[in-house]
Structures are given as structure tokens and as C-alpha cells.
Structure 1
Amino acid sequence: MTREKLLLLDFDGTLCLGDDPVLFYADRVDAQLAQRGLGGFFAGTTVREILSGAFAANTLLVPQIRYDAEGIPLTVRSEPTHDDAKAHPVSWPLQDGYQLVQLLARQAGLSDAESGEGFRAARKDLLAHGLEHTDVHAPSGARELVAEVAQRAVVVLVTNSPAEVFAPWLQALGLSGAFDLVINDARKPFGMPAALERARTAGRAGAPERPTDPRRVLSVGDIWRNDLEHVASLGGTTVLIDRFGTGLGEPDHRVEGFDGAAEAVSTWSHSAARV
């Protein structure tokens, strides 16, 4: 029987929890700044220290962010916004720690290409360190939820994480083989339309000519623009995990953590109607 629903799941901040990946990214940015002679930009503190303070205070609006006269962070207005110019624009308002590190990196003088290199290098650093020695973990019950929903819906993982050496991450989280399709290097937000089109034909071997109706799609993620906005625009259902209480976006369900998201996903998977 063809599964008529499609569940899209984000990775970092949704299925992959823990602050160490973002802290390792901050370490790489600090090293890049030092190499460029920009290590003193934040007046005696480091990006890692700024990020650690933000996590402790449960806020992303750190005092080190520099703004223009209209209250917009410096560098944000200068970001190109069309698809080909930039895969990962500096985001504002902020919704996760990665975005904060990227903004600080750009304000301190790194290019987008350099901060992107830092992100990819940090992923390799984590693997070399050993994911088992970090706080990286999947939410409680995630594997069971995915397996249960997969009986009624196609389940696709969509992530900006590079495809290179991604398998160890899924293995460490107990999620190997859990998905009908894994889409890496998705280039969200600009790449989300293409990722959704690809996901809509996943798991439909018996009816590839009939992609899943967008209104029967549920997307779960922690960044409105990246993970949910496009799905919402097509009439799909959205669940936003709003860890920092940003209030951004217009999701159908706004939750603090994965437990709330799991409840919404389970209800949706059992329902014949949009919920």
C-alpha cells in the first residue's frame, strides 16, 4: 500500500541534540580569526565564550552583536539573497547557535566561505574527537517515533549537514536506516523547494508519477525559514521547535522541545485530516 503522507525532519536541533557541535564550530571560528590576526575583535573574549554564555542564559541576543543605526546587525544588509549568490545567508533574527556563530564570524571579518569552511572542519573535528565523548544525542523516543510513523507515512531527513562522513552521525544517534531518504547538503533555506520536490517522490515506487500532495506533508524543524516556511506556503503542516522562545514564524504547532513535536507528529500520522 502506498503511503500517502510525507514527514520531513530536520537534523541539527531537531533529531541531533547537544551543544558540542556548535561549540566546536565556535572553536574553529576562533582559530580562523586568530590566524587572520582578528582574535582581539571581541575585546578579550572568544566566540566560544560568547556562545557558552548565550546557552547558559538561554538567549541568542548577546551584547557582542554590533548593530547599525536602525538596529539591524552589521553585515546582514549586505548579504546577497538570490539562490546562486549564497547557499547559507547570515540570518536575522537568530534562531539557533549556528546562526549566532556565523553572524559573529562575519562581523569579526571572516567571509562566508571562511565561516562555511569552519563549519565543515568542525564536523570533522567532532568525528575525530569521537561523538561518544560529546553531548551529541537523539531525543528520547526519536527512533521509536520514526519507526512508528514510517508505517503510515514516508519519512525523509533533510539537512544542510554535508554528505561526507554523515553515516557515523546517524549511527551514533541510533538512527541508521531509519529514513526512506536522507537529503544532505540541502542548502536550506534556498534549497528547500528542490529538497521537498525530491522528497515527495520518495517511497512511491508503485506510483512515482503521483508525488505526495503538499497538503499531506508535515515538516518538523527548529528554524522557521529553513525548515518550515516553504512547506507552509504550499498548505502543509509545520511544527517549530522554538528552543529559545523566539516567537518567529507562523507554525501550526510551536513547541519547546522534541516531546511536544513528537505528540504533534503522532497525532498527524494517525489523522486522516490536516492537524
Structure 2
Amino acid sequence: MSRNILVFDFDGTVALGEGPVTAYAEEIAARAGNRLLPALTEGLGAPDDALDAYDLIARRSREAGVGDAVLSAAYRASRDRLAAGACRVFPPRGLAEFLAGVGTKARRVLATNAPLTGIPQALEQLGLQKAFDEIRTDLGKPEGLAALLDDLPAHSRVLSIGDVWHNDLAPARERGHATALVGHGSAPSEAMPDMQAGTVAGLYGSIEQWLRQESASAPPVRQEPTTAR
């Protein structure tokens, strides 16, 4: 088994598009009043100090008096819509081919806080149903990612790839692993990714270079950011 491990986030990393998060907002509005919908979905691409668009919508909902029980029910309903194919998602360009090509060089892990509901169907829609060696759902990042990393064999070389520094990358960096940040939004000042691009498609060359490194102690590959994150 390869000691190289690629850990991919799902929403915003492997699955692109605002379909699922818009469904979440719509389900909240359907339960709490459709008047909320414009306020919930405005400016989702720039989530200010929120972790991501889901967090931004949840914060706005709570400010409007929506309780956590409603938010939980709305999220479950949005994942049901994803499972039914009612939320449009699309993959980064060429991701299926890239993951197939690195399958002999690295273990490919999908690690997400999302429940299993909708994930198999979405992966099929994305053409990625056979792209991962392991799928971990309901992970509870960042703590759950930290636990996953701590359970790996000591000789493992890990590259964690995601769009939320705090959840997807910080636990990996704290353990000396490589990180790759994707997306076009803002990132916290403490974010120090080893690679960065607008989408995973912009990282293929850097990931391949990282996989070719023979020593776990070799310095990580750095790619100059092409976006203001």
C-alpha cells in the first residue's frame, strides 16, 4: 500500500456549484418564512468571517431567530435533494482522469463532514463513483480530521486538499503534513498552504510533483497563489 495519502474535502472541493448550499437556504426559508431567502443567499461567494457558505447561511438564520432544530432539519432535507439529483454539482475539470492516474501512487480518501446521504449519488453524477479508495462521512472536522490523521501509519505522507483552512487543512499542517487550499474566497491570516489554486484542477502538476518526492522529510511543494485568498 502506498504511503502517500491524498485527503480530499467534498463540498467546494470535489463537488463545485452552489446547488447544495442554495437548497439548504431554500429549506430553511420554507420552514421559517420565504421572506428570508434573499437575505440568506446574498453574497455566498464572499462569506466574510464565516467558515464557508453553509456557516454563513446558518449564522444569518440564527440572527433572524431561526433555531438549530430548523437548521438541522433543513440541512437533512437539502442532502435528500442532493441524493435525488435535484442539486446541480460539477467536478473540477479533469478530476476523474487525474484521480484515476494517481491511483497507483497514492491512497485517495474523501473526508467530509456531510452525512452519507447524497454522497454516492453525487459522486455518480460527478463521474467519481470509483475515484476514491475510502470515503469518510460525518467526520466532524476539524477534530474528526485530526483523529483520522493520528490513526494513520507513522510513515504516511499526507496531502490534505480543501476549501476551508480551519476544517480541512489546519489539522494536517499542525501534524507536519502538506496542505492545498482551493477556492476564490477569503482565507484567515494564519492560513499557510503549501499549494493554492482556484480549483483542484489548478493543482494537478503540483500534486504530481509532491507524489514524486521520495522522502517524507522533503520540503513541501509550494505553488504561488493565483487568487487573493
TM-score by length of 2: 0.85
> Which consecutive residues of structure 1, in runs of 5 or more, have no partner in the other structure?
40-44, 62-92, 201-210
Alignment of 1:1-275 (within 5 A): 2-34=1-33, 45-47=35-37, 49-55=38-44, 58-61=45-48, 93-128=49-84, 130-131=85-86, 134-198=87-151, 200=152, 211=153, 213=155, 216-248=157-189, 249-272=191-214, 273=218, 274-275=220-221
Return the index of the structure with the highest Cα Rg: 1
Displacement, 1:107?
Answer: 1.6
State the Cα deviation string for residues 187-246 of structure 1 (Å, max 9, x = none).
112211223345x3xxxxxxxxxx1535x1100000011101111001000001132133
Range with bigger deviation, 158-167 or 18-27: 158-167
Distance 1:23 1:151, change over 3 A: same
Aligned residues: 216
Distance 2:171 2:136 in 1: 16
Paired residues of 2:163 and 2:182 also in contact (CA < 8 A) = yes
Q: Residue 258 and residue 165 in structure 1: after superposition, are their counterparts in 2 closer, same or farther (change >3 A)?
A: closer
- TM-score w.r.t. the length of structure 1 is 0.72
The alignment partner of 1:100 has SS state of helix
**How much has 1:165 moved relative to structure 2?**
4.2
User: Identity across aligned pairs (percent)?
Assistant: 34
Residue 51 of structure 1, CA deviation: 4.8
Structure 1 residue 173, shift from structure 2 partner: 0.7
1:51-106 deviation line (CA, Å, top 9, x unaligned): 54314xx4224xxxxxxxxxxxxxxxxxxxxxxxxxxxxxxx22421111111122
How many angstroms apart in 2 are the aligned matches of 1:217 and 1:95?
23
The secondary structure found in structure 1 opposite 2:107 is: strand
